[in-house]
Amino acid sequence: MPTKSAVPDQDGDKVSTSVLYRRLLKYVWPHKWAFAFSVAGLALFASAQPALAHLMGTVEKTLTEPSQEKILTLIALLMGTFFYRGVGTFLGKYFIAVVGRNVVHSLRVDLFNKMSRLPSEYYDNESSGRLISRVTFDVDQVTGASTRALTTVVQEGLTVIFLMCYLIWLDATLTLVFLVLVPFIVAVVALASRFFRRYSRRVQKSVGDVTQVTNDSIKGYRDVRAYGAIDYEQGRFQKASEYNRKQALKFDLTSAISVPLTQQIVSIGLGVMVYIMFQRVSAGSMSSADFFQFITAASLIAKPLRSLSDINSVIQRGMAAAESIFLVLDSEEESDTGTRVLESCQGRVEFDQVSLVYRGADKPSVKQLSVTIEAGTSVAIVGKSGSGKTSLVGLLPRFYEVTSGQLRIDGVDTREYSLASLRSQIALVSQQITLFDGTVKENIAYGSLRHCSDEEILAAAVAAHADEFISQLTDGYNTRLGDNGVLLSGGQRQRIAIARAILKNAPILILDEATSALDTGSERHIQAAMEEVMKGRTTFVIAHRLSTIESVDRILVMDEGQLVEDGSHQQLLQQQGIYYQLSQMQFGADEQVGE
């Protein structure tokens, strides 16, 4: 199980930049040869800078004593220097881009793969907008830190090193004047880094909020308009965007202050050195050629120092994004320690003193529930909203782990089965239907069902009474459905999901409000299909419409997470308990006991 890293607070600096960069370098290692070519190219570029400074001495000597030979030599040296600097630029920038893009791709894939293995509780406590912004915005910020920033750090860093070595070789005493300023530059950069990281985290959070509000408003645009909430949603968006604007401006303000401050410190050093050099030239202890070489090298060092200071904001933004990404990558995955493979499942289900308490909840959603469902039995679970119906069936495919007690399938605790084999034996039609941006055929034969033949897909659609409308679509089963089946009605989307469950042909079937979106005509057809598909399967039906469950073998009534009634439709009516009251509310006071 992965170990969880220190979680930073909103403005804290729990994870250092060096730690994050070292972790990012693990993603660089598979592309070490491209990285090596890049570093070699950037080193070639950096070495050209002191070479250009040294050529200024040759320029001064050529001006003093011009000759054809000296002029041609100077031109050849200049062209050669720029040529190999150009080669270095190409190698450095292209291969660092190769490394950076591969790092970002690997991070994005790892992040998505990790999200697909996180437990349901993680999604319950995290907004979809923030999750999406991690894959898009955060990873994009890492791109800056792993390509442009890395290029600048290596290229400009080597340039500074080479120029400093050249300056020391020319005059160590003068160079010490510049080195005295280094601690002041480091202090400015370090202080700015703290603010950069702080504001970067806030910007990331605000981007997630903006994404969430946008996502909510777009998906629920009908409700927004129907309930006159346009002004309200616009206010929410304005507030989220305003927070993003303020934090981004604080980030930019820090950058706008730190960069010129660093430049000013450098200019002070240059000013002091220029003064000393003029004094030496006047005293005759420094030649004009030495003067040009030193002043050129000292001037050239200002630009890479400015670039290194400027790129600090990009690095810190990328590090804050990497921190956010690694926080997800370090999160605990679904527990999948089971080693047994569930094959030829009979479908006998036993709840033995089962309780479920959601993380952070005050009371259990399922409380010490015990019941045995024989294989092939159809069971309806009813009760008021919040009684624990969906929580109970969510334990079967282990979307949530049993807090206490045991849930057994075919006599074996479900935790002993591997998740893949357990879920392969369960088909689900949930209350919130999810259709994907693909064709009708791809949505029915989804995931592990991709190998199914066209004949099997057609048979499932016919059984779900979906073929009647699918065949009338423009391209039939090859019609693309758009975002979450936007082209279909609620009832049609429901029947596509039911066809998917039928095609899976699993021994355990969960129907969570499977007929909730159907009109009366469609419901009649689906009821017939459901009665057929439930034969020989252990079926759990959650329904608020009691008319849809009268023919099931058994009805469980839940209240506040507990099983309070158990029996057939007629038996529960005769008890005149909660089920009877629910029935009276739906069918009227003239419901006759024993009918």
Indicate whether 572 belongs to any domain: no
What is the H or E stretch that residue 510 is in?
strand 508-512
Range among 7-16, 331-340, 374-383 with highest mean pLDDT value: 374-383
Q: Tell whether the model's pLDDT for residue 546 goes beyond 90.
A: no
* Average pLDDT for 485-513: 83
Question: Per-residue confidence at 215, pLDDT binned at 50, 70, 90?
Answer: low
Starting at the edge strand found earlier in the chain, the sheet holding 508-512 runs 426-429, 508-512, 538-542, 378-383, 554-559, 562-567
- Give this prediction's pTM: 0.71
- 109 vs 236: CA distance, rounded Å: 32
Name the band, by pLDDT with cuts 50, 70 and 90, for residue 279: confident
Residue 220 within any structural domain of the chain: yes
Q: How confident is the model at residue 188 (pLDDT cuts 50, 70, 90)?
A: low
Q: Residue 491 is inside which H or E element, if any? A: helix 490-504
Query: What is the three-class DSSP state of 539?
Result: strand
pLDDT band at 2 (very low <50, low <70, confident <90, very high): very low
Higher pLDDT, 460 or 163: 460
The predicted structure's pLDDT at residue 259: 65
Q: What is the CATH number of the domain that holds 175?
A: 1.20.1560.10
Which of 243, 198, 158 minimizes the C-alpha distance to 9? 198
Pick from 219-228, 561-570, 584-593: least confident:
584-593
pLDDT computed for residue 1 by the predictor: 38
- Report which of residues 295 and 336 the model is more confident about: 336
Question: What is the predicted pLDDT for the residue at 395?
Answer: 92
| More reliable by pLDDT, 400 or 76 | 400
Task: Give the residue numbers spanning the domain of 228.
Answer: 17-329
- pLDDT of amino acid 161: 81
Say yes or no to pLDDT of 5 above 50.
no
Mean pLDDT in residue range 66-91:
79
Q: What is the mean pLDDT of the chain?
A: 78
Domain count, the chain: 1
Question: What's the pLDDT tens digit per position in 349-365?
Answer: 999 999 999 887 888 99
Q: Report yes or no: 404 and 477 within 8 Å, Cβ to Cβ.
A: no
Angle at 509 between CA 508 and CA 515, to 5 degrees: 170
Stretch 435-442: mean pLDDT: 83
Which amino acid is located at 72 in the chain? L
Q: Phi and psi for 330 in degrees, rounded to 5?
A: -90, -5
CA dihedral 421, 422, 427, 430 (to 10 degrees): -130
What is the reported pLDDT for 71?
Answer: 74
pLDDT at 116: 83
Q: How distant, in Å, are the alpha carbons of 12, 20, 137, 318 from that of 5?
A: 14, 11, 22, 18
Helix H or strand E encompassing 562: strand 562-567
Q: What number is the average pLDDT over the span 50-65? A: 69
Question: Contact 210/244 with Cβ under 8 angstroms?
Answer: yes
Tell me: pLDDT of 594 over 50.
Answer: no
Within 220-336, where are the H helices? Answer: 221-226, 230-283, 288-329
Beta bridge partners of 354: 369
Q: Do the Cβ atoms of 331 and 117 come closer than 8 Å? A: no
* Dihedral sign, Cα of residue 220, residue 224, residue 229, residue 233: positive
Lowest model confidence (mean pLDDT) among 242-251, 350-359, 405-414:
242-251
pLDDT category of residue 493 using cuts at 50, 70 and 90: confident
What lies within 8 Å, CB to CB, of 502 at 6+ separation is 427, 460, 463, 464, 529, 533
Residue 413 covered by a domain: no
Asked whether residue 492 is assigned to any structural domain, the reply reads no
- Identity (one letter) of the amino acid at 412? V
Is 148 contained in some domain? Answer: yes
The residue type found at 327 is: L
In a domain, 489, yes or no: no
> Which pLDDT does position 10 carry in this prediction?
42
Residue 591 has pLDDT above 80, yes or no: no
Instruction: Report pLDDT for 12.
Output: 43
**Residue 115, domain member (yes or no):** yes
The sign of the torsion formed by the CA atoms of 459, 464, 467, 473 equals: negative
In a domain, 368, yes or no: no
Do the bridges between strand 412-413 and strand 554-559 make them parallel or antiparallel, or are there none, so unpaired?
unpaired
